[in-house]
Amino acid sequence: MPPRIIIGRGGTPFTVLEDGAVPHVNGTNGSTGKSGKAAPSVTILPATAYTAQRVRWLWDNWLALGKLHLLAGAPGTGKTTLAVSIAATVSAGARWPDGMATEAGDVLIWSGEDSVADTLLPRLLVAGGNPRRVHFVDGVREHGRGRPFDPAIDMPALVAEARLLPSLRLIVLDPVVAAVAGDSHKNTETRRGLQPVVDLAGQLDCALLGITHLSKNTSGREPLERVAGSIAFGAVARGVLATVKAADTEEPRRLVRAKSNIGPDSGGFSYVLFGALVPGHDFTAQRIDWGAALEGSARELMAVEQEDMAGEAMEDAETFLLDTLKDGPLRPAILRRRPVPTEFMADGQQREKAARHQG
């Protein structure tokens, strides 16, 4: 049966092929551009061209195969150690914190921040990982010379090499923000930069864990709003995990599910960091000791953090200024005569005001 031509809004011709062929949309109806090259066409497939599939998990309800995930946390919460612990579990076919077993597989790690020899490898060994199954991105050879790996431009080369690993199950990128060549605070540039990372996970059919930070002075806000950089980081990732350090130093740290588009988005696990002797060596390295499962939303579970006094004071100051200027701008001389709440004064101003009251 010949193709049907449908005229869309604005008079654009759409060529629609019947069942049994590959449908496509070509707004130019096969014409060429000014350069003489064929204009691009858009491929549209009917739902019948796909097969419904369940989400396949590396760690059930936590890390999915073929998907990008984020691990975000403040400095000192053990993000890298936790990522290495996850890598060790995969490489050894060990059990997850919830007791579920996993099939042993290969792991690929790129770190732009930590040394393999004195940080990552020792932590892998104390976590019980299999070093034969864990691989590190060492650099790039270009025009006969070596240079550091750049996630923003070297993803195609990484895909080609990673395909050689027999059973790749997990990739760790630290930090994932390095994949964004443009401004990581701009939504469009961040999405464009993260797309090759998303494609990397899909093409290699493995879970990809990107490590990033939580923004400063954001305690108490919605967890996704706290991920450093553009909100696109949390939006593009199918799952976001967050690490939390409790204000009470006697309490363990927490790993919580801050977001998931493909599974549960609540709950977590407690964990502690401690030094353990590296097998076969006379020095120690940091490792994770998992604790109890936790229930509750991410915001509830992250409420154990040190209260963010600086962030709250800033919000209070903004509220005060907005209220003061609600009727329009004021001259500086008039503004200075307005009473200012004590909590917004510098320490010296507070002491001076207290001395005047005592006098």
Contact 39, 33 (CB under 8 A): yes
- Which part of the chain is CATH 3.40.50.300? 57-304
- Average pLDDT rounded to a whole number, residues 170-175: 96
State yes or no: pLDDT of 280 exceeds 90: yes
- What is the Cα–Cα distance from 140 to 151, expressed in whole angstroms? 11
Q: How far apart are CA 65 and CA 356, in angstroms?
A: 67
Pairing outcome for strands 253-260 and 168-174: unpaired
Amino acid at 44: I
- Top-confidence residue, 311 or 150: 150
List of E strands, 304-348: none
pTM of full prediction above 0.85: no
Q: What pLDDT was estimated at residue 310?
A: 47
The predicted pLDDT at position 3 comes to 56
Spatial separation of the C-alpha atoms in residues 125 and 128, rounded to whole Å: 5
Amino acid 267: pLDDT: 97
Q: What is the mean pLDDT of residues 183-199?
A: 92
Residue 218: band (very low, low, confident or very high) from pLDDT cuts 50, 70, 90: confident
Provide the residue type at 110 as one letter.
W
Residues 246/229, Cβ–Cβ less than 8 Å: no
Q: pLDDT exceeding 70 applies to what percent of the chain? A: 77
Residue-level pLDDT at 121: 98
Q: Average pLDDT of 193-219?
A: 92
* Structure tokens belonging to residue 118: 């004195």
Evaluate whether 268 touches 255 at the Cβ level (below 8 Å): yes
Q: CA 145 to CA 255: how far, in whole Å?
A: 41
The region of weakest confidence among 20-29, 32-41, 227-236, 296-305 is 20-29
What type of residue is 153?
I
More confident residue, 22 or 253: 253
pLDDT confidence of 222, banded at 50, 70, 90? confident
- At residue 215, the pLDDT reads 87
Whether residue 30 is predicted with pLDDT greater than 80 in this model: the reply is: no
Identify the residue whose tokens are 């976001």.
240
Asked if the bond preceding 175 is cis, omega within 30° of 0, the reply is yes
Of the listed ranges 179-183, 234-238, 290-294, the one predicted with least confidence: 179-183
Q: Is the pLDDT of residue 176 over 90?
A: yes
Q: Give residue 132's pLDDT band: very low, low, confident or very high (50, 70, 90).
A: very high
Do 112 and 174 form a contact (C-beta atoms < 8 A)?
Answer: yes
Cα angle, residue 116 at apex, residues 251 and 241 outer, rounded to 5°: 40
For residues 263 and 19, what is the distance between their CA atoms, to the nearest angstrom? 34
DSSP 113: S
Does the pLDDT of residue 270 top 90, yes or no? yes
Cβ count near 234 (within 10 Å)? 21
In terms of phi and psi (left: phi > 0; alpha: psi -120 to 50; beta: otherwise), the region of 137 is beta
Least confident window among 11-25, 56-70, 124-138: 11-25
Task: Tell me what the mean pLDDT of segment 318-336 comes to.
Answer: 71
> What is the CATH topology of the domain spanning 57-304?
Rossmann fold (3.40.50)
Mean pLDDT, residues 93-117: 96
Mean per-residue pLDDT for 287-313?
82
Q: Give pLDDT, residue 40.
A: 85
Query: With bands split at pLDDT 50, 70 and 90, how would you rate the model's confidence at 56?
Result: very high
pLDDT over 80 (residue 325): no
> Average pLDDT for residues 204-216, to the nearest whole number?
94
